[in-house]
Amino acid sequence: MYFYPMPKKVILLFAVIFTTSLFAQKQDSLSIKNGIENPSLLSTHHFGIFNSRLNTNFKLKPSKHKTLSFNYTSGNSFHPFVESYFPKDPEVRKQLSQVIWYQRRFNFIDQETTPADYMRIVIDAVIKEFRARFDIPINEQQEFAIALRSYLITKGKYPFSVFTSDEAIEWFHSHVAGGEDPFGRRYYGLNQVNFEYLDRNGNTLKLNNNDFFVGGIEFSHYYYPKLSINESRNIYVNFGSHLGINASKFNPSLDLGISANAIKHLPLKNQYQLDIGLGINILRKNLITFSDDAIDLGNNPYLGTFEGNIEVTKFTKKNNYNALGINFQMQTRYNKKEEAGYYHLRGKWQEINGGWHHGVRTLYDLLSTWSLVYTYGRSNYKLSLFMKQDLEVNNAPDFQTGIHLKVPVF
């Protein structure tokens, strides 16, 4: 996969498809409300963008018509330079495990006297994702979806990154919460791209400003069983199977996953309704790898996600609606937890206030985020806006915003 400067042709193609589809619609073509139809809330994690990962499906049933959706999201990630050593000697591991991580001492000489794996990483960029998805109903209980995702690495300057730019985030830290330059963005310089990762196998992943790449294509099949609790208790479930083909030159591979989701639908008085969704999925990443020098993007072969969503909807007299939802996500670790018990980290901790270790440490943490989602729906389109914040404040990414448009297609 090759990299290009600013993807003008790709953006133009999306614009043509979008404009054509809008003018081709009939006003009554899209079901007005079908459970919780969230935008893609996947994080722009600097490892996650190279694998498929899974969006949760909180719909009650298949769509009545084919639909086309476009999702744009922007997230700010910042991790200062950090090195990590993973000693291979069981005795050395045992010794290090008895000391808290920031007080561990490890003198690496060479692989013969002190064998160890080595890894280093630095991430400073605003990562933008462009996602297009086509949903095709098969029958009353099944539907199929195809999604194409691509990414742009940027400095995050105005006016294209109003809320996720370095200036916006550091203004918030300085004037609202967090304190002055808590992670060292100002110290290292604002509006920069510094994206480089050397894995433990000696392979390098490096991205520059305005690098653009197609992340891959994803295929999903959903099954909505007809159950007695659908009508009696307004509880709906669906199951998904997922296949992802990763297309970047850094990780040409195939992912396979499954998902299960449940939604409680509560019609309320005065044209309000409440929907509560719970979902779980698991992805076997890199089930098949098409290159011997693919980048090691975490030695945990599985990514699992738990997700909860509460959405309140108010219908207007014209049968349009406004919906406000709160979404919580928790994703499993990219690296195996036991390594955190003995790794040795080195960074420029004395130069910044904190967070110098996040580039490696967060690979061993559960990643938890919350999102606030607003949706306006009509019979012929649905428009969603969202913002996303990581609960651990670990910059993976720090803050993320996005917009989603869904329209019917004939």
The pLDDT, as a whole number, for residue 112 is 85
Decide if 280 contacts 306 (C-beta within 8 A): yes
Average pLDDT over residues 303-316: 96
Decide if 311 contacts 275 (C-beta within 8 A): yes
Average pLDDT over residues 87-112: 92
Average pLDDT over residues 189-202: 94
Q: What is the pTM of this model?
A: 0.88
Q: CA–CA separation, 216 vs 397, rounded Å?
A: 21
Q: What is the secondary structure of 274-340 as a DSSP string?
A: EEEEEEEEEEEEEEEES-TT-----S--EEEEEEEEEEEEEE-TTS-EEEEEEEEEEE--SS-GGGG
Q: CA–CA separation, 102 vs 357, rounded Å?
A: 9
What residues contact 119, with CB distance under 8 A and at least 6 apart?
A: 83, 84, 86, 197, 198, 199, 200, 360
Residue 231 per-residue DSSP state: H
> Cis (ω within 30 of 0) for the bond into 137?
no
Q: CA–CA separation, 128 vs 73, rounded Å?
A: 6
Chain-centre distance for alpha carbon 15:
23
List pLDDT tens digits, range 197-244.
999 999 999 999 999 999 999 999 999 999 999 989 999 999 999 999
Q: CA–CA separation, 120 vs 85, rounded Å?
A: 9
Confidence band (pLDDT; 50, 70, 90) for 19? very low
8-408 CATH: 2.40.160.40
Q: CA–CA separation, 43 vs 46, rounded Å?
A: 9
Domain boundaries, the chain: 8-408
Confidence band (pLDDT; 50, 70, 90) for 350? low
298 phi-psi bin (left φ>0, alpha ψ -120 to 50, beta other): left
List pLDDT tens digits, range 323-345.
999 999 999 999 999 999 999 99
Average pLDDT, the chain: 89
Q: Is the pLDDT of residue 123 over 50?
A: yes
Question: For tokens 């653009």, what's the residue?
Answer: 212
Decide if 163 contacts 234 (C-beta within 8 A): no
Helix (H, G, I), strand (E, B) or coil at 14: helix
